[in-house]
Amino acid sequence: MSYASKQDMIDRFGSDELIQLTDRATPPAGVIDDVVLNAAMADADDEINGYLQSKYTLPLATVPLLIKKLARAISRYNLYDDLPPEHVENQYKSAIKTLEGIARGLMHIGPDNANVVTPETSMPETKADPEVFTPDSVSGFTGR
């Protein structure tokens, strides 16, 4: 399951931009190349998972809107072979900064916290005192 879909990408960036970024046929076919787009989205998913794995159980049961937004920005950035426009690079850097905040526990991905992993290192330690009453220490005691 990809965090962003082809339709998510079209809705956000438009078919024309995606055709321009993915159509590598000679001569150009004038359509979105699903193989190229899917590869960019898979790379984005891998990058996102690298940050999420320390705090959340993967795969996520549902994809929060924040993660979809980050996946779209990273996927778009991945589609550029050369230097992306400044606004695309800025969106990518912002997405990575958000993911770093999530990985450090400064941000949450959304209301679905069923996926939260509690690292063992943050579990409280407990220590019990030795037993006061044992079968041997109370033998012969009738209580009357």
Question: What phi, psi does 80 have (nearest 5°)?
Answer: -80, 125
* 104-142 pLDDT per residue, tens: 999 999 775 455 555 554 555 556 566 666 666 666 666
128 or 12: which carries more pLDDT confidence? Answer: 12
pLDDT of residue 113: 45
Q: Residue 61 has what pLDDT?
A: 86
18-73 pLDDT per residue, tens = 999 999 999 999 999 999 999 999 999 999 999 999 899 999 989 999 999 999 99
Per-residue confidence (pLDDT) for residue 83, from 0 to 100: 92
User: Distance (Å, rounded) from C-alpha 71 to C-alpha 48?
Assistant: 7
- Report residue 1's pLDDT band, with 50, 70 and 90 as the boundaries: confident
Is the predicted pLDDT of residue 96 greater than 80, yes or no? yes
The pTM is what? 0.78
Count of C-beta atoms within a 10 Å radius of residue 104: 11
pLDDT on residue 81: 85
Split at pLDDT 50, 70, 90, the class of 82 is: confident
For the chain, the distance separating the N- and C-terminal CA atoms, rounded to the nearest angstrom, is 69
CA angle at residue 90 from 8 to 17, to 5 degrees?
40
